[in-house]
């Protein structure tokens, strides 16, 4: 995902067509908070799991696992905290343009999903189904944000971080689908490298183990505001 967004930065800067530069810049602006916050939050999860895998030994310096965790922890802070990135995402990147950039991103995801669903095998079946659900969820959440942001910004803001996570997970599924399709093309061309079927299986795993969070996050975004704001400030 970071590479795709970085490539879009280059295109937005260098492409000879002004309209294409504008389109790519809108994509970059939308995705920068996701790259900064979702990837770094995921890095924290991965390094935390690394400590857990080592057990008690992971908590001391001998294995090096604890150092990785500490190094990852700052990344969710020094580019702007995850909460700040999420508020930027829902406000300046989604609500301000009426969801136009988000709709353009969804259209790209749909094109990949249409190709994935035509591929044989259980891996592509699972991946295409998860991506379809993710596209629907991002659309629902984006519509909610655009529709309610001006009327009740606090309620929408409650779901800012969940929305960032949702968009990150679904965008990750989009990337995994692209990678799986590229791997399948290599296999179809006769390439016997075991890396390619492993890449397809990795995408299947992502669909089954990561994209399952989509439904809960969508509910949190759309319905979670009232309960979060029900407590008076004095209670804190």
Active site residues: 79
Give the integer Cα–Cα distance in Å for 101 and 77.
26
DSSP string, 30-68: HHHHIIIIIHHHHHHHHHHHHHHHHGGGGGSTTSSHHHH
Give the integer Cα–Cα distance in Å for 124 and 141.
25
CA angle 28, 31, 37 (to 5 degrees): 135
> Distance of CA 23 to CAs 5, 19, 48, 136, Å?
12, 6, 37, 22
């Amino acid at each position: 995902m970071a590479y795709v967004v970085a490539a879009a930065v280059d295109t937005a800067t260098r492409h000879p067509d002004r309209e294409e530069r504008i389109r790519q810049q809108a994509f970059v602006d939308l995705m920068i908070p996701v790259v900064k916050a979702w990837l770094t939050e995921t890095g924290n999860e991965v390094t935390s799991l690394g400590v857990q895998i080592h057990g008690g030994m992971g908590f001391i310096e001998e294995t090096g696992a604890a150092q990785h965790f500490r190094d990852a922890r700052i990344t969710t802070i020094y580019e702007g905290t995850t909460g700040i990135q999420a508020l930027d995402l829902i406000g300046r990147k989604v609500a301000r343009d009426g969801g136009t950039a988000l709709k353009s991103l969804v259209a790209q995801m749909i094109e990949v999903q249409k190709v994935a669903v035509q591929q044989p095998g259980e891996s592509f079946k699972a991946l295409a189904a998860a991506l379809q659900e993710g596209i629907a969820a991002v659309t629902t959440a984006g519509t909610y944000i655009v529709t309610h942001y001006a009327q009740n910004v606090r309620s929408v803001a409650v779901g800012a971080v969940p929305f960032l996570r949702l968009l990150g997970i679904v965008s990750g599924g989009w990337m995994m689908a692209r990678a799986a399709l590229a791997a399948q093309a290599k296999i179809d061309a006769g390439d016997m490298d075991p890396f390619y079927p492993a890449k397809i299986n990795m995408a299947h795993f992502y669909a089954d183990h990561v994209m399952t969070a989509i439904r809960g996050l969508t509910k949190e975004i759309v319905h979670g505001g009232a309960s979060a704001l029900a407590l008076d400030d004095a209670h804190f």
